[in-house]
Copies of this chain bind each other. A is one copy, B any other.
Amino acid sequence: MLRRAVSAFCYAAARAIPALRQRNIALPQLPFLRASLIPGLNSDYQSVTLSWPFSSFRPRDYSLPNPSWSPQMLRLYNYYNNLCEQDGEGGKKEIGPWIRLPSYNRTVKYATGGQCLSKVLQAKARLFTRNIEEEGAAFEYAMFLNTEEKAAVCVFQAGPLLEGPVGNLHGGAIATIIDTVTGALSIYLGGLVVTANLNVNYRSPIPLGSVVLVHAALEKMEDRKIYISCQVTSSDGSKLHTEATALFVKVNVGHLFER
């Protein structure tokens, strides 16, 4: 039943693409459901959209700059965002190996038809890293993928609601942004995946309010397993705050609904 519902979703998405392709709006970042799962979406993940879902509602893209971003955060964002466009023939802008990932605060609940969650829970559900509306209060981040190098970079500004040790980021918040960035890379590489292991070594505290870079890179892929390494550094790369490895496993969508 669930598989059929998701198949129907993908089929409807594929049918909608030709009409939407010309709008050149980014595909919503669907956690644990990547573009390649939808027939016809493989080659242009960053330039195709689905309306949300199949309506005129346009959700907020949380990875775009807002007034809470510090000059440092904005500078790093602009640096990586500029890498997403390359000069092609005749000076025309072309899509480069870098892709900016948009980021929304909802996952695709509609695919399940509400089978697994009460309607109340389903309506209230929000992506953990985007569950606070106040700009600058919690996770402010933007992710960029390098499709050639199979790597990702995230510029991350740590808001005051993420406190653990006094004045510093909570270890769980650091694990969360690592899971998010390594997960996004794994989804790009492997489609529908779940985190199987996260091994985090905390080297030095990250002060609240600071801007850091989260680097993730593919180490190896074996059958259904995707191994990713990750480092969290200061914005100039001079200080290593955290090192981690992550293992993701490709799954069928039914895995998420085994109760």
Contacts from A to B (Cβ < 8 Å): 31-33, 107-109, 111-112, 116-118, 121-122, 124-129, 131-132, 137-138, 160-168, 170-173, 175-180, 183, 194-202, 204-205, 207-209, 255-259
Report how far A236 CA is from B58 CA in the complex, Å: 42
Q: How far is the CB of A53 from chain B (nearest CB, A)?
A: 12
A163 and B197 contacting across the interface, CB-CB below 8 Å? no
Q: Which residues of B contact A128 (CB under 8 A)?
A: 161-164, 170, 172-173
Q: Which residues of B contact A176 (CB under 8 A)?
A: 170-173, 175-176
B160 and A109 contacting across the interface, CB-CB below 8 Å? no
B202 and A196 contacting across the interface, CB-CB below 8 Å? yes
* Stoichiometry, copies per complex: 2
18 interchain pairs (CB within 8 A)?
A32-B165, A33-B166, A116-B167, A117-B208, A122-B167, A124-B160, A128-B163, A128-B164, A128-B170, A131-B137, A171-B198, A172-B172, A172-B173, A172-B177, A173-B176, A175-B200, A200-B200, A205-B256
Q: A117-B209, A171-B183 are in contact. List 8 more A-B contacts (CB 8 A).
A: A107-B163, A107-B165, A122-B160, A122-B167, A125-B208, A128-B172, A171-B175, A198-B198
Q: Please give me the residue from chain B that is nearest to A210 by CB atom.
A: B259
Report how far A86 CA is from B219 CA in the complex, Å: 54
Select A125's contact among B125, B127, B163, B259, beta carbons within 8 Å: B163
B117 and A161 contacting across the interface, CB-CB below 8 Å? no
In the complex, which of the residues A122, A124, A166 has the most CB atoms of chain B within 10 Å of its own CB atom? Answer: A166
Report how far A171 CA is from B126 CA in the complex, Å: 14
B166 and A112 contacting across the interface, CB-CB below 8 Å? yes
Report how far A99 CA is from B172 CA in the complex, Å: 24
B137 and A124 contacting across the interface, CB-CB below 8 Å? yes
Report how far A257 CA is from B205 CA in the complex, Å: 8
